[in-house]
Amino acid sequence: MTSLEMPVIGAKWAIGFIALFHTSVGSLAIGFAFFVTVAQIAAFRTRNRSLDLLAKKVQLIHVCIYNIGTINAIGLVFLLSGLFPQFFGQIFVQFYWPLIVEEFLFFLLATTLTFHYFFWDRLWGHKKLHIFLGALLTPFFILQVYIINGLGAFMLTPGMGEAELTLRAGVLGWDRLGFYSPSFLMLNFHRGLANIAYGSFAVAGICGAMLYLVKRPRIKEFYEEGGRLAFYVAFAAFLSLPLVGYFYAHVLMGQANEAFVNLMWGRGDIVAGGIDWWWLKHIFVAAMLGLCLVYFYQADKAKAPFTLPAVMVWSVAIFYVLFYMAMGMVMTWAFFWWMLAVGAGGALLGRHLLGFHQGSGRGLYLLIGILSFMTVILGGYAREASRPRFVDRIAHYDQVFVPRERQPFLMVEVDPGQIPEAVPKPEPSGPQILIRRKCVGCHTLDRVKAYRGDWGTIVRQMEAYGLKLSHLESKAIVGLLESGQPY
């Protein structure tokens, strides 16, 4: 054994568990920050103090979970340091300065959040200033997640990243090309909107749970109104998520084909315990769509505040039927039928819950809060599980790792500029480079490595699929593959 191991669950699941725990809490914090600002502005504009009180209660929960999230982040750092030291050390060197900026934002966030909550009453006479202070949290959070997304996106779609240069030529702390990797933009959009939707659905879920517990009519009305506002904000953010997700998947198709195939066809770690977890996430999403649409339809009929006109509800419903039809054409019709059935089932369940609780959204709020939590967890899991182990992402990680003492530097004055540059590894040429360049146009090299059989036939088959090779190139590739030499 050359590395530390986590008993029982193993290194991978230890990281996975803490990372998902952190993500679920961290995303909640972002959603809460946005919701608090919306609720405060609504309260200020309508002179409705109960919304301000709700905002304060949500901010208190935010303070609590913020600290839990911070501690989780530290746990993640410790786990990665011990279990994946080479990966972690290298990615830190590669993205050191963004991480330091992220750390600075972290401190700004913590301080702003603290001032915003603990000085709520003292700043009562300066409400606009107080709202502004709270509103700062959302851009701070977005910037913070922007940085983390840079690293996360790089791990999935390294694109033009200079990971190897980090060791060979010294990309010290800021790998711009790696940071702005192909999936960076879509990950930002998807996560940004998902966080707001998740946080606000969670507020609605809390309001739903409280509606079961409280008895006094005034307090019931307080949570009912809070739940409606939260649901409204959440749905606005949630609405475009499947679309953004579609484009995200499109980027993966081009830039992380193996991950894309794993997601779409249910391969690799996406299927665990006999369950396709990505499909399950989509089932929850479709159920949420059905629940939301029937909620707004009923709310509009009841002329409740914070609702959508019925015509818009129908428009959204038709749009999503068409969207799932398109998805069915791209993927499989089974996907379309499943989503349609679950969406309709969600709508029926929502209608039943609203009827059962005599128009109160309590059951629906609580259910959608839980479903929203599940989608965040499953989304994070699916993204990580779709990717082949990240040790394969950066070439140096799979090399034998031989640490070296720095003792000799004790005797000399070290000027990093004078440290001789490491000699770059010789670039492969000949059939090796042909295989690398030609085969990865359609699939990864893992598939080539896994294949055992008649290479001549296979290469001809690939040419039939559209691969352009000269006779000499074809011969060279077949020769190398048959010889079993590395490439």
Partner 1 sequence: MDLPLIETPVAARWVWMEEVTYSHIPIATLITAFLVLAPIYEYIGYRWGDKRFDRLARSLVYFSMILYSPGAALGTGIPMFIIGLWPEFWHRWANLFFWPLIFQFIFFLTDVGFLFFGYYLPWDRMQNRKRLHIFFGVMTAVFGLLIQVVWDSLGGYMTTANTPLPMIDQPVGMSWTAFFNPSFPFLFFHRFFANISYTMLLTGGVLAIKHLRQKDPAEKAYFGWAGDLTFTVGLLTFFVLPFIGWGFARVLQDQAPVVFHSIMGGHASIFFLVKMGLIGLLLLLGAAYLFARHRSRFILWTSTLGLAGIYLVLHWHPALDLLPGGKPVWRAAYTVVIAGLLVLLWRIKGRTDPDRPWWKAAMLAVGLASFLAFALGGFVRERARQPWTVYEEIVKPEVLPLEADRWLVYDKCLGCHHQSPKDLARYAKKDWEDRVATERRRPGVRITDEEARRIVAFLKENYR
Question: Where do contacts with partner 1 occur on this chain (CB under 8 A)?
Answer: 1-5, 60, 63-64, 66-68, 70-75, 77-79, 81-82, 85-86, 88-90, 92-93, 96, 99-100, 103, 106-107, 109-111, 113-114, 118, 166-167, 170, 172-173, 401-407, 409-414, 416
Name which of 77 and 160 has its Cβ closer to partner 1.
Answer: 77
Q: Where are the beta strands (DSSP E) in 315-363?
A: none
Q: How far apart are CA 199 and CA 285, in angstroms?
A: 15
Name which of 311 and 402 has its Cβ closer to partner 1.
Answer: 402
Triad 163, 71, 27: Cα angle to 5°? 75
Kind of pairing between the strands at 275-276 and 271-272: antiparallel
Closest separation in Å from C-beta 67 to partner 1: 5
Closest separation in Å from C-beta 8 to partner 1: 13
Q: How far apart are CA 65 and CA 28, in angstroms?
A: 8
Closest separation in Å from C-beta 416 to partner 1: 5
Name which of 410 and 472 has its Cβ closer to partner 1.
Answer: 410
Closest separation in Å from C-beta 71 to partner 1: 5
Calculate the alpha carbon distances from 86 to 109, 200, 402 in Å. Answer: 30, 38, 11
Burial 307-332 (b: 16+ CB within 10 A, else e): bbeeeebeebbeebeebbeebbeeee
- Say what angle helices 10-46 and 362-386 make with each other, to 10 degrees: 140
Name which of 86 and 444 has its Cβ closer to partner 1.
Answer: 86
Name which of 27 and 72 has its Cβ closer to partner 1.
Answer: 72
Name which of 142 and 186 has its Cβ closer to partner 1.
Answer: 142
Name which of 22 and 362 has its Cβ closer to partner 1.
Answer: 22
Total number of residues shown for the chain:
487
Name the residue with tokens 């609702």. 307
Closest separation in Å from C-beta 161 to partner 1: 16
Name which of 413 and 427 has its Cβ closer to partner 1.
Answer: 413
Name which of 418 and 429 has its Cβ closer to partner 1.
Answer: 418
Closest separation in Å from C-beta 66 to partner 1: 6
Q: Three-state secondary structure along 8-68?
A: CCHHHHHHHHHHHHHHHHHHHHHHHHHHHHHHHHHHHHHCCHHHHHHHHHHHHHHHHHHHH
Closest separation in Å from C-beta 169 to partner 1: 9
Could you tell me how far CA 84 lies from the centroid of its own chain?
Answer: 21
Closest separation in Å from C-beta 399 to partner 1: 11
Q: How far apart are CA 215 and CA 85, in angstroms?
A: 54
In sequence order, which residues have a C-beta less than 8 Å from that of residue 419 and are 6 or more positions away? none
Closest separation in Å from C-beta 326 to partner 1: 43
Name the residue with tokens 């919304």. 51
Q: How many CB atoms lie within 10 A of CB 439?
A: 19
